[in-house]
Amino acid sequence: MRYIFNFPDIGEGLEEGTILEWYVKKGQQVKTGDNLVQMETDKVVADIPSPRDGTIVALFGEVGEIAIVGEPLVEIEIEGVHGEEAQEEAKKEFAPQPDESEDLDDEEAAGVVGTMETAGKSAVLAASDEGSDKEDVKEDKPMRKALATPVARAMAKDMDIDINEVKGTGPSGRVTKADVENFKPAKKGTSKKQDIVKGDDVTYEPLTQIRKAISKNMINSKHSAAHMTVFEEVEISELINVRARYKDAFSKKDAKLTYLPFIVKAAVHALKHYRQVNSQMDLENDRMIFNNRYNIGIAVDTAEGLVVPVIKDADQLSIMEIAKQISELADKANARKLSMDDMKGGTFTITNYGSIGGLFATPVINYPQAGILGVGRIIKKPVVKNDEVVPGSVLSLSLSVDHRIVDGGEASRFINKVMEYLADPIALLME
C-alpha cells in the first residue's frame, strides 16, 4: 500500500513551511517515529517523524522549497498491506473514534507535539492486483489503470514515468509510444518553484508574491473592517480651469499636473477636519490611534498587480511636490523598484480608477486604515447652476470607511468637505 504523508500543521496554525533538511532518501526503510524531514515555519523548526513503517518512495520538494500544510510531503510504501486489507486500513485510520480528541491525533503522529495531521482519506490507496507498482498508485485521485500499448508501457517503466499520468491519444484514449515520448511530467507537491502547467481546459500558474500579498491584505480587510461606502458627484469646472492654467508651467518644471494632486490635497484638508477618517482602531488595547501624520497611499495599477506607495506628510507638500512624488512613485511601481519604505506608513488611501475608466466603486479599505477614497472618471453632463441647466464636468467619488470607526454622518461630512475643495480649488490655498 502506498501512503501519502501530508505536511501537518505543526501547531502554529500557519499554512506553509520551508524544507530545511531531508533526513531520508528514496528507497530508504523507515520506522514509525524516525525523523523524515526538518521543516521551518515562521517561528518553529520541527523534525517531522514518520507516521508509518515502510520504504520511502517519493519526497515532495527540495531543501529550501516551501511546502503547503495539507499537501503531500512524503510517499511511503507500507509493506504487506494489499488489496482489500489496504482499503480497510485506510478506512480504519480515518473513521471517527468515539471520544477521540486531538491528543489521540498526536499519538497517531508518532508522539510529535501539536496537531499532526496524517494523510487525507483519499491519499491512501490500495495497491491493484498487480501489487505495488508505482503506476497503480495515484494520489488524491481515484485509481485507474491506463490503457496503453505494451511498447508504451515498457517505455514508461524504463523512463520512470507514471503511465497513468500520460494522456493517451490512441484508440479509446490508449497511451501510445509517442504519448510517452512527448510526456512532460508535472512536478509533484506544491513548491514555489512550480512551473506553468497547461491542461486541456485550464492553465495552472503559481501565485506571485505580489498576488499573495494582495490576497492576504484584501481578505484581512474584509474580515477585519466593517466596510461602508458613500457615493457623491462633484462639479469641477473650476478645478479643470486651474489645472489647464498651470499645466504647462508644471511641465516646464518636470512635473505632470493631473487632477490627482488636487484630490490628495483636498483629502488631506478634509482629514484634518475629520480625524476619525485618519485613524485606526486598536481593539487589543481598547483604544483608538489617531494619526498626526497625513501619509496618503496611492493605489497604482501595475502589470504585476496593485501596489500602494505612500506620499508621506502630504499636508506639508505643495501641489507641485505632490505631483512630482506621484510620478516618481508610479514610475518606481511600474519598474518594480518600490522599496519597503515607499510602501509603509500610509494613513489613508486614494484609488484613482477613473484614469482607466469607471464611475463608482466600493473600494476595499487598506486595513488597518479607516478609509479609502475612490476617484472615478470625469464626465460631461448637465448640471444646475443658478437655476439653469448648463453643461458641467462631473467627477464621481466613492468613499469606503470602516464603519466601526467612522459613522455615516462623519463619512458624509468628510466627503462633502473633499467636494468643497474640489469644486473650489482656491479654497485649498486659504487654509
Which positions are catalytic?
Answer: 403
Nearer to another protein, 134 or 332 (CB): 332
Nearer to another protein, 43 or 92 (CB): 43
β-pairing, 305-307 vs 54-59, is unpaired
Bridge-partner residues for 211, per DSSP?
none
Nearer to another protein, 85 or 341 (CB): 341
* Helix (H), strand (E) at residue 342: helix 340-343
β-pairing, 124-125 vs 310-311, is unpaired
Nearer to another protein, 132 or 366 (CB): 366
Cα distances (angstroms) measured from residue 237 to each of 143, 244, 347, 390, 399: 69, 11, 29, 11, 21
Handedness of CA 51, 57, 62, 66 (dihedral sign): negative
Minimum distance from CB of 140 to another protein (Å)?
A: 26
Among candidates 213, 250, 252, which has minimal Cα distance to 366?
213
Residues binding another protein (CB under 8 A): 10-14, 18, 20, 33, 35, 40-47, 49, 64, 103, 106, 110-115, 220, 282, 284-285, 289, 340-341, 343-345, 368
Minimum distance from CB of 93 to another protein (Å)?
A: 20
Cα distances (angstroms) measured from residue 11 to each of 74, 115, 267: 19, 6, 44
CB distance 206 to 392 below 8 Å: no
Minimum distance from CB of 293 to another protein (Å)?
A: 12
Nearer to another protein, 77 or 342 (CB): 342
**Cα(194)–Cα(186) distance, rounded to whole angstroms?**
9
CB distance 76 to 33 below 8 Å: no
Farthest-apart Cα atoms in the chain, separation: 92
> To which residue does cell 480651469 refer?
241
CB distance 51 to 74 below 8 Å: no
Minimum distance from CB of 49 to another protein (Å)?
A: 5
Minimum distance from CB of 111 to another protein (Å)?
A: 5
Nearer to another protein, 13 or 83 (CB): 13
**Cα(400)–Cα(395) distance, rounded to whole angstroms?**
16
